[in-house]
Amino acid sequence: MVDLDLSVHPADRKPTVGIPVATSAWLVISESVNLTASELPHVLSALRRVAPRLQERYAADSGELIFTLDHLWYPLTDSQDDAIELAVAGWAVEQLGIDADPARVTFDRAANAYVITFDKDMWKSGRG
């Protein structure tokens, strides 16, 4: 389980402090969030995956899209870093009102890990 507080909004200009996600898309991390070196790449990967659809929805006319991460927590035991990516994809599905799962999750017993396979076509721009 990943507890995620993420928001998105359009802006007229890029933020003064932000991490590039995609062309005209930025991540702003609240000071209260302490991402580790292993977590940030997963957050960015997930946002890069969902950004095209969210840009169409929220920032088609304004130019810039700002993602703000206010909270991220998950139990350090019995978790995988790529669960963060699944949580962001789930959040994006809710934002867009998509009635579909963003990924297929299976369990690999040999590796003792979940395998997350994202629906790449779901996130292509031009899908409404």
In tens, the pLDDT along 93-123 reads: 999 998 889 999 999 999 998 999 998 888 8
Structure tokens at 126: 């031009």
Backbone angles phi, psi at 108, to 5 degrees: -95, 105
Residues 118 and 49 sit within 8 Å (Cβ to Cβ):
yes
Name residue 36's amino acid: T
Give the number of domains in the chain.
1
The answer as to whether 128 is a domain residue is no
Predicted pLDDT at 72: 93
Q: Cβ distance 74 to 31 under 8 Å?
A: no
The pTM (predicted TM-score) of the whole model is 0.88
| Residue segments in the chain with a per-residue pLDDT below the cut of 70 | 77-78, 126-128
- Give, as one character, the DSSP assignment of residue 55: H
**What is the structure's pLDDT at 105?**
94
What is the domain range of residue 104? 3-123
Please give the Cα distance from 127 to 124 (Å, whole number).
7
* pLDDT at position 76: 73
The predicted structure's pLDDT at residue 78: 66
The predicted pLDDT at position 49 comes to: 93
Task: State the Cα–Cα distance between residues 127 and 64, nearest whole angstrom.
Answer: 20
Q: Are 54 and 96 in contact (CB under 8 A)?
A: yes
